Amino acid sequence: MPARMHSTFGEDRASASERAIGRQPGRIGNGCGRRFSGAALRAAFHREAKSPALAILRCASALSLRSGCRSVPPDGFVAMKAATVAVQPTEHPMSEHDDYEPEHAASPTDQIAQELQLYGYRPSEDEADPRPVPEDRIIEGAVADIFDALISTVADTSLDPDLDDLLWSTVNMFHRAVERADRKLDDNEQAQKRLQREQDGSEVKSVQLERLIDLGQSLIERRDSLEVFRDGAADHYHRATGSPWSQRTGSRVNHRHLTAAMIDSRDFIAAKRRAETEVLVPSGPKIAFSGGDTADHKLIWAKLDQVHAKHSDMVLMHGGSPKGAEKIAAKWAETRKVPQVAFKPDWTKHAKAAPFKRNDAMLAVMPIGVLIFPGTGIQDNLADKARKLGIPVYRFGTGGA
């Protein structure tokens, strides 16, 4: 048979099959040896397909005819199966572990939350502490409990000889805490000065400076609270031992709170320096006092009371001797709540000349008067130098003035 006739015969067969597809919904073709061309398959797929499932059904039927003599399942079954595959998505049974994620490392937020839950809020060293300081009355009660417990435990035991030293060390513990707070304040002041020079108008530098100001104010509150501890302990020491508490080195001062209206860093530093200067150099007339190894405490107290009655804001200056007239004068100042400045000799620097150098330093403050009680050549040296400077000298115990 010529090729042309064979092609025409195949096309006629394909057309008949295509018509059969449209007319017979039950079966598609029933003979053997029927073949369809590619064009016939494409026509069967595109011409009468109304949905994706039906299109697949037509294509499957045509392929069945091309593959030879095969029985084709009913259209209803094929259509349902094809629709299930083509239209409906494949569904798999969900598992409770489908959204499982591996364990992650704890986040910084989680760590902070856990620490707050366990330990509460604890600001770092470079942050201001928003928590309030203890009230003065609570501090005084706590100090009283400390000394009562220590005295009642140690007194009338073999440790009784050590009681004075233990009480002194208790006061000194608070005094050292005050000094540490002062050093932190000095560091804060230097940091503020550095940031003042580095200010460039940016918000970052401004916030850093504000943070340092807040930290400085918090340190001042802490230092003042520690001073209440120390001063209360010193009062209990005085009542328990009969002697005023004095530190080995350095100064013992009692600062005042700065105003809360300070917002500028320069104002903060200036106020801090002014407050410290007023405490270290008390205002009021200065009265110099010097005496030797004497025990006439009644005369000393009487003369100092006379001066205090005339100059209620007086500041007593003495040599800081651990015994004799100067110790009696120190106890008087402690009892009368009079500011006192101890000019102790610097034996390390000046050796034997230390008492005389001390006299020069005392007179350099320019007191309004000098009280001299019987003693040694050190007292005579102070009196002679004071007269040369035009400072009135008052001698007691020897009948002269």
What's the rounded Cα separation, in Å, for the pair 232 and 228? 6
Beta-carbon contacts of residue 185 (< 8 Å; ≥ 6 apart) = 216, 219, 220, 223, 272
What's the rounded Cα separation, in Å, for the pair 220 and 213? 11
Q: Residue 212's closest CA among 125, 126, 273, 274? A: 126
How many Cβ atoms from other residues are within 10 Å of residue 108's Cβ? 7
Are 53 and 79 within 8 A, CB to CB? yes
Are 312 and 394 within 8 A, CB to CB? no
Are 332 and 300 within 8 A, CB to CB? yes
Are 294 and 318 within 8 A, CB to CB? no
In the three-class reduction of DSSP (H, G, I as helix; E, B as strand; rest coil), residue 296 is classed as coil
**Residue 10: predicted pLDDT:** 44
Are 288 and 362 within 8 A, CB to CB? yes
Strands in 190-342 per DSSP E? 286-290, 315-318, 340-342
Domain 282-401 has what CATH class?
alpha beta
Angle (deg, nearest 10), helices 3-23 and 52-66: 140
Helix or strand (DSSP H, E) at 395: strand 393-395
Which DSSP symbol is given to 28? S
* H-assigned helices in 88-202: 108-119, 136-154, 163-198
How many Cβ atoms from other residues are within 10 Å of residue 258's Cβ? 18
Break the chain down into helix, strand, coil percent, rounded to 5.
60, 5, 35
What's the rounded Cα separation, in Å, for the pair 329 and 302? 11
**Residue 42: predicted pLDDT:** 57
Are 341 and 312 within 8 A, CB to CB? no
Cα radius of gyration (the chain) = 51
Strand partners, 341: 317
What's the rounded Cα separation, in Å, for the pair 293 and 375? 6
Q: Please, what are the averages of pLDDT over each run of 10 residues along the chain (401 residues)?
A: 45 47 43 50 52 55 50 52 51 56 76 82 74 91 95 91 92 92 90 84 83 88 92 92 80 51 52 64 85 87 93 90 90 90 86 89 89 90 90 76 40
Helix or strand (DSSP H, E) at 267: helix 265-280
Q: Residue 297's closest CA among 397, 394, 398, 376? A: 397
